[in-house]
């Protein structure tokens, strides 16, 4: 098997599944499907295999550090991980004055801390591998005061992180104090990761989806959906493939010189 591997979280369904399919089909990648729902994960693995690529399902609650450590270890055993797409996310909406601390914590823990755990675990492995490559190319002086061998970023193999935020991080959204805070946090954290990791040739970027047709939005009342769609200049809900197209760009050679940015894929919503 070609060993290029992408980890995609929340890939059992919705946007994550659309991303996994596109990366497998159009960037020839093997996929680690990460989710909490085993049934949907098994279906996603079959979809990827039916297009001729390899896939494994790893059950992992991204908000649990131990789950993430074990998932990342399995992914690196599966092949050479080149890309992580942090897509898993939830909503627990209510107005500020009614929002429980439990719902606030749950959303922040999955949507934001989960990305922190995964980026820390994956970048830790990428940076260790990069340091070994540098030492092999220019052996470091031995001894306790020996400094790390420093190379230009382009010396290292390109690695990429794509984090899924939301358009509501931009302007806020009624009933989503927890969700909007988590999604704005994703953007700021991604910029920091981009700055810290650039020296190892690791790019980190974000996508802000608008209003996308998935099981997450299917549960909204039709009247509310119609109201949102009326505000979208392109006059339709987005599809998972619309988001997957932007992920593909940020996962390909075409974006080698792009890091720390956020792409809006929202049909013009909230311009
Ligand atoms: P979705 O249909 O609800 O799918 C999310 C997937 O993530 C589900 O399979 C879910 O599993 C999984 N998941 C939930 N909690 C998890 C956890 N702790 N660890 C691992 N996996 C977990 O959502 P979506 O609409 O595709 O959204 C995907 C991402 O895009 C989210 O980050 C969301 O915030 C963002 N987004 C969506 C929209 C939109 O309009 N749909 C707009 C902007 C941003 P379960 O089903 O078992 O919970």
Angle between the 14-26 and 240-250 helix axes, to the nearest 10 degrees?
50
The set of long-range contacts for 189-196, using a CB threshold of 8 Å and a minimum separation of 24, is 189/112, 189/115, 189/116, 189/119, 189/163, 190/161, 190/163, 190/165, 190/260, 190/262, 191/260, 193/119, 193/123, 193/161, 194/259, 194/260, 195/260
Predicted local distance difference test score (pLDDT) of residue 3: 66
What's the length of the chain?
Answer: 271
Predicted local distance difference test score (pLDDT) of residue 96: 98
> With 90 as the cut, is the pLDDT of residue 143 above it?
no
- Residue pair 254/211 in contact (Cβ under 8 Å)? The answer is no
Predicted local distance difference test score (pLDDT) of residue 2: 56
With 0.85 as the threshold, say if the pTM is over it. Answer: yes
Q: Three-class SS of residue 241?
A: helix
> Mutation test of ligand 1: which of 71, 172, 216, 217 has the most ligand atoms closer than 8 Å to its C-beta?
216
Predicted local distance difference test score (pLDDT) of residue 110: 99
Domains located in the chain, CATH noted: 5-138+147-265 (3.40.50.720)
Q: Is the CB of 246 under 6 A from ligand 1?
A: no
pLDDT per residue over 217-242, tens digit each?
998 899 999 999 999 999 999 999 99
> With 70 as the cut, is the pLDDT of residue 7 above it?
yes
Q: Three-class SS of residue 252?
A: coil
Which is catalytic among the residues 156, 179, 200, 257?
179
- Residue pair 228/217 in contact (Cβ under 8 Å)? The answer is no
Predicted local distance difference test score (pLDDT) of residue 150: 87
pLDDT per residue over 168-222, tens digit each?
999 999 999 999 999 999 999 999 999 999 999 999 999 999 999 999 999 889 9
Task: Let me know if 179 is a catalytic residue.
Answer: yes
């Amino acid at each position: 098997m070609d060993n290029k591997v992408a980890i995609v979280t929340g890939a059992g369904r919705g946007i994550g599944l659309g991303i996994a399919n596109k990366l497998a089909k159009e960037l020839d990648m093997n996929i680690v499907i990460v989710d909490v729902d085993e049934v949907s994960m098994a279906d996603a693995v079959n979809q990827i295999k039916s297009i001729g690529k390899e896939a494994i399902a790893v059950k992992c609650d991204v908000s649990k550090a131990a789950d993430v450590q074990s998932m990342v270890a399995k992914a690196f055993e599966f092949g050479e991980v080149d890309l992580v797409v942090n897509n898993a996310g939830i909503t627990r909406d209510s107005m500020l004055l009614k929002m429980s601390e439990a719902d606030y914590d749950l959303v922040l823990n999955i949507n934001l801390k989960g990305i922190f755990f995964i980026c820390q675990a994956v970048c830790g492995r990428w940076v260790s591998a990069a340091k070994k490559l540098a030492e092999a190319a220019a052996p470091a002086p031995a001894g306790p005061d020996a400094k790390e061998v420093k190379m230009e970023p382009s010396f290292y193999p390109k690695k990429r992180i794509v984090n899924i935020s939301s358009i509501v991080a931009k302007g806020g959204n009624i009933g989503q104090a927890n969700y909007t805070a988590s999604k704005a946090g994703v953007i700021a954290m991604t910029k920091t990761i981009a700055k810290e990791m650039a020296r190892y040739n690791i790019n980190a970027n974000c996508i802000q989806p608008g209003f996308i047709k998935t099981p997450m939005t299917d549960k909204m009342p039709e009247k509310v959906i119609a109201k949102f769609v009326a505000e979208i200049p392109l006059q339709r809900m987005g599809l998972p493939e619309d988001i997957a197209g932007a992920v593909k760009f940020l996962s390909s050679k075409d974006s080698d010189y792009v890091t720390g940015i956020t792409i809006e894929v929202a049909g013009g919503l909230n311009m």
